[in-house]
Amino acid sequence: MSSDKKTKPNFATHLIAGGGAGLCEALACHPLDTIKVRMQLSKRNKAPGVKRKGFFAVGRDIVKKETPLGLYKGLGAVVTGIVPKMAIRFSSFEFYKSISPTDPTTGKIKPSAVFLSGLAAGVTEAVAVVTPMEVVKIRLQAQHHSMADPLDVPRYRNAAHAAYTVVREEGFKTLYRGVSLTALRQGTNQAVNFTAYTYMKQYALAIQPEYAELPSWQHLLLGLVSGAMGPLSNAPIDTIKTRLQKSQAKAGESAMARITYIAKDMFKQEGFRAFYAGITPRVMRVAPGQAVTFTVYEFIRGWMEKFKVNQVTQEYSE
């Protein structure tokens, strides 16, 4: 039995490789996400003498008032959802690609199909995991309490308590507040991300025929570039979504009415720049996050495929 043929990754591979990649990403980049959320929730007006705080100033304030652990608020919610999120992202992307039409002349999947597969994968993960995870995460990150002071008791103690409290006081539907915006953000993120990464990787392999697989540092670089593209294209969506998920719903108010009100109020009170609040930490969070995700994912997947091949080779060697 030949061991030269590369085995196709199965769901278990996507689960383990994606989960491991997501965990590394969360641990490395979560502080940047906390700073981003605080910047998006800041409602400083453009009044004379009031200066909008920048990325480093917000981070410094969190560390000073809430200790460095304050930068990791909401991490529990992220870690809890990161394994299914990444498993769904990679496995659904591969599934949608497998049912997409191919170019009749080349037999390869069209760029438009890769884009749509990424879009569908992003929407799938948003509905299945990301939206409730982010509602809980944002509620935790929005709390301005010191984690070093035992007398400073927060409203939400941890991810599980936050989820329980939100469901008990506001109903289960609250966990899916902003699902349309989250789906739109995740869909556009992954559409751009997977398309850019896929074709940059193909180009890199084409100009380096000596490589059967790219070195890890190249996966890191390609993930960094592709990861920065999504946030730049959908920052207003993410800012509105963050404010929507942080606030409590008003009786009889539809989701679209709430979204419209938030957008109009932001523009009126804070100007157009408010829609791009937190863009610096978001790019700094998502871009290296995708770099870490793709690098670790490719490494674990390659290791698992090699391990399977070695097992098969040993089994049939005699």
Mean pLDDT of the chain: 83
pLDDT of residue 8: 60
pLDDT of residue 316: 42
Residue of higher predicted confidence among 245 and 194: 194
pLDDT over threshold 90, residue 143: no
* Domain membership of residue 17 as a residue range: 11-43+56-146+154-316
Is 2 part of a structural domain of the chain? Answer: no
Domain of 291, CATH number, reads 1.50.40.10
pLDDT of residue 81: 79
Give the gyration radius of the chain's Cα atoms: 21
Amino acid (1-letter code) at residue 194? F
pLDDT of residue 47: 53
Is 4 part of a structural domain of the chain? Answer: no
Neighbour count for residue 67 (Cβ, 10 Å): 14
Is 5 part of a structural domain of the chain? Answer: no
Q: What is the pLDDT of residues 251-267, one digit of tens each?
A: 777 878 888 988 998 88
pLDDT class for 167, splitting at 50, 70, 90? very high
pLDDT of residue 247: 75
Is 3 part of a structural domain of the chain? Answer: no
Alpha-helical (H) ranges within 42-110 are 55-66, 75-98
Is 133 part of a structural domain of the chain? Answer: yes
Q: Which of 228, 219, 179 is nearest to 200 (CA)?
A: 219
**Residue 3 near residue 312, CB atoms below 8 Å:** yes
Q: What is the pLDDT of residues 43-67, one digit of tens each?
A: 664 455 667 788 889 899 999 988 9
Most confident of 43-52, 189-198, 223-232, 280-289: 189-198
pLDDT of residue 50: 64
Is 177 part of a structural domain of the chain? Answer: yes
Record the pTM: 0.72
- Structural domains counted in the chain: 1
Is 48 part of a structural domain of the chain? Answer: no
Is 49 part of a structural domain of the chain? Answer: no
Q: What is the pLDDT of residues 185-205, one digit of tens each?
A: 899 999 999 999 999 999 999
Which of 7-21, 72-86, 265-279 has the weakest average pLDDT? 7-21
Amino acid (1-letter code) at residue 156? Y
Torsion of CA 173, 175, 178, 180, to 10 degrees: -70
Q: Rounded CA gap, 183 and 39, in Å?
A: 22
pLDDT of residue 132: 92
